[in-house]
């Protein structure tokens, strides 16, 4: 018996087999959930479909989170197939590459707006679409992925740190709004991971090595550790937890030097 047996979970943000969203999707399936996934564009579709097939996950189509029409189409398809939704995983973030490689002060107005829209506002838009489907199931749980750069100035993280700070604030306000409908909203702050997104960060490997050396557990984070904690937060095991940011970073966030 899994801890999320008979649950229906939509995972948004899988890009390839290294995605933390993929680690979460696999663990959800392993713990008994029926999993749905989306992809963004034809290039990622070629990577996502085989992964989905490997865990018997249903693909609900292409999803660009900056498109209200595509959000509506995905959730309409989900409503038709499942009727309701128990869990939503938001693992979406974006910033222009040049905004992660120059000084933060150089970020353009357009680049700033785009990073905030895709990385933070998209959680609000998806939560709004998920609300009636979760209400139909008697409640639900929403989880997003964040990073320490939301609360500390991390070199080269730049506008993404600002976007993650906004994302964590969105978590708190969404938790306040959706709590009366028995819908919980939390964030998981993971340590550095080798993903498609992290490849855009200048000196990523230096940052990851520094974290590994200073973290109390003195090793690299394992994607499956993110997966297991994510499922715990999404499940009834965390039934009294909402509006929180939970760290899975080997303890690095507690250190001073």
User: Does the pLDDT at position 204 exceed 80?
Assistant: no
pLDDT at residue 193, as a whole number = 64
Global pTM reads: 0.94
Which residue range(s) make up the domain with 216? Answer: 8-92+101-106+125-146+174-254
**Catalytic residue set:** 147, 157
Query: Within a domain: residue 228?
Result: yes
Query: Within a domain: residue 2?
Result: no
Query: Within a domain: residue 160?
Result: no
Query: What CATH number did the domain enclosing 231 receive?
Result: 3.40.50.720
pLDDT at residue 45, as a whole number = 95
Query: Within a domain: residue 3?
Result: no
- Three-point CA angle 97, 164, 3, nearest 5°: 115
pLDDT at residue 198, as a whole number = 47
105 Cβ neighbours under 8 A, 6+ residues apart: none
CA distance 22 to 227: 8
Query: Within a domain: residue 165?
Result: no
Query: Within a domain: residue 166?
Result: no
Q: How many structural domains comprise the chain? A: 1
Give the tens place of pLDDT for each residue, 54-113. Answer: 999 999 999 999 999 999 999 999 999 999 999 999 999 999 999 988 899 999 999 999
């Amino acid at each position: 018996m899994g801890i999320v047996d008979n649950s229906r979970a939509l995972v948004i943000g899988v890009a390839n087999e290294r995605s933390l969203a993929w680690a979460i999707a696999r663990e959800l399936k392993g713990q008994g959930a029926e999993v749905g996934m989306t992809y963004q564009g034809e290039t990622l579709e070629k990577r996502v479909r085989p992964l989905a097939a490997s865990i018997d996950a249903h693909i609900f189509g292409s999803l660009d989170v900056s498109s209200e029409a595509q959000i509506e189409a995905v959730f309409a398809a989900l409503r038709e197939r499942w009727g309701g939704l128990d869990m939503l995983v938001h693992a979406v973030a974006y910033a222009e590459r040049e905004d992660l490689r120059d000084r933060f002060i150089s970020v353009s107005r357009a680049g700033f707006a785009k990073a905030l829209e895709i990385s933070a506002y998209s959680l609000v838009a998806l939560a709004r679409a998920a609300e009636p489907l979760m209400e139909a199931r008697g409640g639900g749980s929403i989880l997003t992925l964040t990073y320490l750069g939301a609360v500390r100035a991390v070199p080269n993280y730049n506008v993404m740190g600002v976007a993650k700070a906004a994302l964590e604030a969105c978590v708190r306000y969404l938790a306040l709004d959706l709590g009366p409908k028995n819908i919980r909203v939390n964030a998981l702050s993971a340590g550095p991971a080798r993903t498609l997104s992290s490849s855009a960060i200048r000196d990523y490997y230096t940052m990851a090595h520094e974290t590994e050396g200073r973290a109390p557990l003195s090793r690299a984070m394992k994607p499956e550790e993110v997966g297991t904690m994510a499922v715990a937060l999404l499940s009834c095991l965390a039934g009294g937890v909402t509006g929180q940011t939970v760290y899975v970073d080997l303890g690095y966030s507690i250190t001073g030097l």
